[in-house]
Chains A and B, each alone.
Chain A
């Protein structure tokens, strides 16, 4: 079957030039789905097969050459769990689907309400009352029906967190309260995978990345057993689209950097943003000891490749 898929890709490949003039062989997004149907596999599998024989799925042309062919394959082979499908989660999911992450597990027990319409990408008048994960799955199908998407319409709790991690390579924290974030962090550490974490209030927020060996959320929110609050400034300031979308974009960029092991990640650092005065600053979360430790163990866990069963 593989050989015949490979031959079919070769036959359907088109010779063209990239915008910098370099030659390139591509395959049309609709042909990818046709071949997937013929071969009884997902479009993602066809995209990977095409890339391996140096045929670029045309949907990724504008990812070149910031992303190499090998990078694109690595992203398509990656499985990312996105917990929370509200303001952060919607835009992170959309962005990662478009850039070419191949496998998703989307988690949220909430349904859309009218007060989500100011920022949440997958919310719409027609979606009020609809489970957020259902709208997210529908959206991803319209962007790329070849993606492998699992969805769980349930809230994350300490009891189900481990199961929800499944066999993902990385988890993205798009939650809206502190306790669930700690539950997610514990599960990510238990699964041995990195967590990209962000939070927003008004038009400000912060982003960081927590590897299993890191102190993590405790450095931001204090010790979990001393938590007296579930929520933060957002209860007074709301969450506005420019702040949420910006922080979600930063989270998405960080996911790509961590998965591709590009370095200069936000491990043990906190990127803070405030659109009120355009503050962008990356702060060191721990003193020199932890910073030294971080540079001595460069994201070993990101190398861990795990697969959907």
Chain B
């Protein structure tokens, strides 16, 4: 199967955990966001907000390749 890719943007305290080549993160088509994060050693518990192509989605959303994925940890400062 041809590998698929997503663009991954990790915000705030998750940013240092970004994999190399964030613009072309290899995925197996059909993988959930949760499984992808686990595979990349990114703590799923900190992934409070999941955005796919600019729309809020859940950790269970499956990726097919070509998506922009954004992950925000909780942010509460003022």
Instruction: Give A contacts to B, CB under 8 Å.
Output: 84, 86-89, 174-178, 181, 198-202, 204-206, 219-222, 229-234, 236-239, 244, 270, 272, 274, 276, 279, 281-287
Contact = CB atoms under 8 A, between A and B. Distances in A.
State the majority secondary structure of interface residues on B: mixed
Size bracket, chain B contacts: 20 to 34
Interface of B: 9, 11-15, 48-49, 51, 54-56, 70, 72-78
A222 B13 contact: no
B21 to A, nearest CB: 15
A181 B76 contact: yes
Given A175-B78, A232-B74, A274 B56 contact: no
A247 to B, nearest CB: 9
A86 B13 contact: no
A199 B70 contact: no
Nearest to B13: A233
Contacts of B49: 220, 270
Nearest to B9: A279
A306 B2 CA distance: 61
Nearest to A239: B77
A232 B54 contact: no
> Which residue, A231, A238, A272, has most C-beta atoms of chain B within 10 A?
A272
Contacts of B78: 84, 86-89, 174-176, 198-200, 239, 244
A232 B56 contact: no
B15 A276 contact: yes
A201 B12 contact: yes
A199 B13 contact: no
Contact of A272 (B72, B73, B76): B72
A204 to B, nearest CB: 5
A233 B55 contact: no
A178 B75 CA distance: 9
